[in-house]
Amino acid sequence: MAHKKAGGSSRNGRDTEGRRLGVKKYGSEQVLAGNILVRQRGTKVHPGHNVGMGKDHTLFATISGRVRFHRSTGGRTFVSVEPVN
């Protein structure tokens, strides 16, 4: 019972584009207010001082300054922006 599959059901087309996640500004880099620091799924990195979090867990600078990554006693990673004097 060899036969061809009915036409019209393509089996390709499921590979999606990458989401461009990750750290966008690294430690000791200068940033402006509003710059995106980290794009992530979930909170791998938590917001510290002068950093806001969007609804998709994107971290962004709320002031201009210098980026600093640091760990808390519980092992969480935080990113803060320190104002430059």
Over the stretch 20-71, which tens digit does the pLDDT of each residue have?
Answer: 999 999 999 999 999 999 999 999 999 999 999 999 999 999 999 999 999 9
Structure tokens that stand for 48 in this block: 């510290």
As beta bridge partners, residue 81 has: 67
**Residue 53 amino acid letter:** M
Rounded Cα distance between 81 and 66, Å, is 5
> Considering the entire predicted model, what is its pTM?
0.83
Strands 51-53 and 59-61: antiparallel
